[in-house]
Amino acid sequence: MHRRSFLAGALAAAPAALGATACGNGADSTAGSGGRTQLSYGMWDPLQVPGMQKIMKAFEAEHPGITVKLQVIPFAQYWTTLKTSMRGGSAPDVFWMNAPNLRLYASNDTLEPLGEHIRRDGFDMGVHPEELVGIYSYEGEHYGMPKDFDTIGLWYNKELFDRAKVPYPDESWTWETVYDAARELTDPKGSVYGIAAEMQGQYCYYNSIPQAGGYVIRDGKSGFAEPETIEGLRFWTGLVDRGWSPTASAMTDTSGRQLYISEKVAMNYDLSAMASMMYAAPGIKDHGGVAVLPKGRKRATTIHGLANVISAKSPHTEAAWKLVKFMGSKKAAEIQAREGVTISSYTGTQDAWVKSMPEFDLKVFIDMLDYAVPYPHSTYTQAWENLQYQLLGSSWTGHGDGIAKASRTLAQQMDLVLEREN
């Protein structure tokens, strides 16, 4: 009975779904009733839906002939869905893009090049951080309009610092200061650790590698065999080996972020975008703080941000460009900043975000733009990021392979992946 009704349901649903897509395409290709153009906008973060709706409303007010429909696809399925719909030709007209995927999409001609539109309308890309504009360029052509950005800061817990009588982090801090503080802050009896040294690129070693003078990828070659890069990795594994951070094994089920929020670690490198989450945790709101990343040989922080891109298959390229241009404007950036979820990438609109949480010194995230390093990426970013977990992971457990050897193996493997890109 159960099975039969399930089958019947599936059979009934199949033609309905087909019909729906067919209708959708029809409405897309011919302007809908009343001469209006309908654009679809693909995104993954449900938290940003209210903000996006406000932006779309403002856009529709300026462009009476165009309506925009939000299409929220959960991140876990976002890229698979997008790939499939790209093949089938039903992809959203405008959608969110991130650094790891940009080149994969751009190099397969699935994105509309923006250069000509930008030149024709005289749009100044200089209003967005250079590193972000760079991430969304491929072979000298613009493919994305930056939307927001993230940098990494050192989050700390003032109460735990006070208890261990350690001065709060500030711009004078270096790697040595971090080590000294982590030692002082670690309290085995209270099961408190100095820092959460996670096996994670963006929050952790993508920052320490350039700080040590190394690099992750340059000119299509892996940097993991470079001694400076290995030094950047060792900054983290050293903290684990000394017992001043939980091991990666301990942070598999409970992330460093969760440990920081539950006040089990005194320091944690984390995203600016997590500010609102920290703000929602009463303890952290009361005695949490944030500082610029401590200096290694150099100063560095990883910058990443999303961008709006146009599908090359969209039948409404002009309308889609109008939307993308609007979303890259000051007006849209201000609406987004007021929502407080992310930092808008438009220069000068970040104040609203900084002021929205006065307890935290959020200005440090903007100040760090001066020496921000773009999130490392290439065409098959996902492939070599997966390799990092497979090959480096055990070095974060306190009794794994030596990090130097593991990192050199990773370099070799990563170069194999990168060969495929040429």
Partner 1 sequence: MAVFPSTAAAQARNKPRRPRSQRAAYLFIAPIAIGFAVFYIWPLLQTFYFSFTSFGVFGGNSWIGGENYERVLQDVTVGRALLNTLLYTVMGLITLPVSIIIAELLNRPGLRGVAIYRALYFLPFVTLPAAIGLLWNWLYNGDYGLINEVLSWIGIDGRYWVSDPTTAAYAIGLVMIWSHVGYYLIIFLAGIKAIPRDYYEAAELDGAGPVRRFVRITLPLLSPSIFFTSVISVITSLQAFDLIYIMMSQRNPALGSTQSIVTLFYKWAFEENAQGPAAALAFLLMLLIAALTFLQFRLQKRWVHYA
* 247 binds partner 1 per the rule CB under 8 A: yes
Token pair of 142, please? 């613009």
Query: Residue 347 or residue 397: which is nearer to partner 1 going by CB?
Result: 397
Q: Which stretch binds partner 1 (CB under 8 A): 42-50, 174-182, 323-331, 414-422?
A: 414-422
What 3-state class would DSSP assign to 319?
Answer: helix
Residue-wise DSSP of 180-229: HHHHHH-BTTTTBEEE---S-IIIIIHHHHHHTT--SEETTEE-TTSHHH
Q: How far is the CB of 8 from partner 1 (least distance, A)?
A: 22
Q: How many residues does the chain have?
A: 422
* 249 binds partner 1 per the rule CB under 8 A: yes
Kindly tell me which residue out of 2, 5, 420, 422 binds partner 1, with binding defined by CB under 8 A: 420
Residues 78 and 45: their CA atoms lie apart, in Å, by 10
* 2 binds partner 1 per the rule CB under 8 A: no
Phi–psi pair at 153, nearest 5 degrees: -130, 170
* 63 binds partner 1 per the rule CB under 8 A: no
Q: How far is the CB of 101 from partner 1 (least distance, A)?
A: 10
Token pair of 208, please? 């320490």
Q: Are 370 and 153 in contact (CB under 8 A)?
A: no
Kindly tell me which residue out of 20, 57, 69, 87 binds partner 1, with binding defined by CB under 8 A: 87
* 416 binds partner 1 per the rule CB under 8 A: yes
Query: Residue 37 or residue 388: which is nearer to partner 1 going by CB?
Result: 388
Q: How far is the CB of 251 from partner 1 (least distance, A)?
A: 8
β-pairing verdict for 221-222 and 217-218:
antiparallel
Q: Are 327 and 315 in contact (CB under 8 A)?
A: no
Query: Residue 174 or residue 394: which is nearer to partner 1 going by CB?
Result: 394
Size of the site for partner 1 (CB under 8 A): 36
Q: How far is the CB of 378 from partner 1 (least distance, A)?
A: 12
Query: Residue 21 or residue 386: which is nearer to partner 1 going by CB?
Result: 386
* 382 binds partner 1 per the rule CB under 8 A: yes
Query: Residue 129 or residue 400: which is nearer to partner 1 going by CB?
Result: 400
Kindly tell me which residue out of 119, 285, 399, 405 binds partner 1, with binding defined by CB under 8 A: 399
What 3-state class would DSSP assign to 135?
Answer: helix
Q: x/- contact string, 110-139, with partner 1 (CB under 8 A)?
A: x-----------------------------
* 336 binds partner 1 per the rule CB under 8 A: no
Helix (H) or strand (E) holding 265: strand 265-271
* 396 binds partner 1 per the rule CB under 8 A: yes
Token pair of 268, please? 């944690």
Give the amino acid at 216. V
* 387 binds partner 1 per the rule CB under 8 A: yes
Residues 88 and 86: their CA atoms lie apart, in Å, by 5
Query: Residue 177 or residue 397: which is nearer to partner 1 going by CB?
Result: 397
Instruction: Render the burial of 270-301: b for 16+ CB within 10 Å, e for the rest.
Output: bbbbbbbebbeeeebeebbbbbbbbbbeebbb
* 83 binds partner 1 per the rule CB under 8 A: yes
Q: Which stretch binds partner 1 (CB under 8 A): 17-25, 45-53, 80-88, 163-171?
A: 80-88
Query: Residue 6 or residue 389: which is nearer to partner 1 going by CB?
Result: 389
* 262 binds partner 1 per the rule CB under 8 A: no
Burial class (CB in 10 A: 0-12, 13-18, 19+), 379: buried
Query: Residue 125 or residue 383: which is nearer to partner 1 going by CB?
Result: 383
Q: x/- contact string, 195-224, with partner 1 (CB under 8 A)?
A: ----xx------------------------
Instruction: Render the burial of 203-240: b for 16+ CB within 10 Å, e for the rest.
Output: bbbbbbbbbbbbbbbeeeebbbbbebbbbbbbbbbbbb
Alpha helices (runs of H) in 242-360, residue ranges in sequence order: 256-261, 275-280, 282-287, 317-327, 330-339, 351-356
CA distances for 308 relative to 23, 92, 146, angstroms? 26, 11, 6
Residues that bind partner 1 (CB under 8 A): 80, 83, 86-87, 104, 108, 110, 199-200, 247-250, 252-254, 380, 382-383, 386-387, 389-391, 393-394, 396-397, 399-400, 409, 412-413, 416-417, 420
